[in-house]
Homo-oligomer: A and B are copies of this chain.
Amino acid sequence: MDALLLSVLEREPLHGYAIIEALRERSGGALDVPTGTVYPALRRLERAGLLAGEWASDGGRKRRTYRLTDAGRKALAGERSAWRSFTTAIGSVLDPLR
């Protein structure tokens, strides 16, 4: 989850709702993350210093827009390499060379 959020925010700052849509889009509909997962996760990442959130107003609507911090960018690199190691490890068990 953390890696996904960081990755989506890599290019441009987005607010929660837009992040959910971006995840759905980028994954071709496969990833439909509920708000109960995303919002707490964003908070968590903000507390950890990986994201910076800011309130903005679009018309009457209030949005909390998050952007990646430098620490977040580094964390993303780590998450990506961890993900690769992870899938390689699982893959080596699930699809052993025949």
Contacts and interface: CB of A to CB of B under 8 A. Distances in A.
Interface of A: 3-4, 7-8, 23, 26-28, 30-31, 79-80, 83, 85, 87-90, 92-96
Q: In the assembly, how many copies of this chain are there? A: 2
Contacts of A96: 7, 26
A31 B77 CA distance: 21
Contacts of A28: 89, 92
B93 A8 contact: yes
A85 B94 CA distance: 14
Contacts of A4: 90, 93-94
Nearest to A86: B30
A94 B83 contact: yes
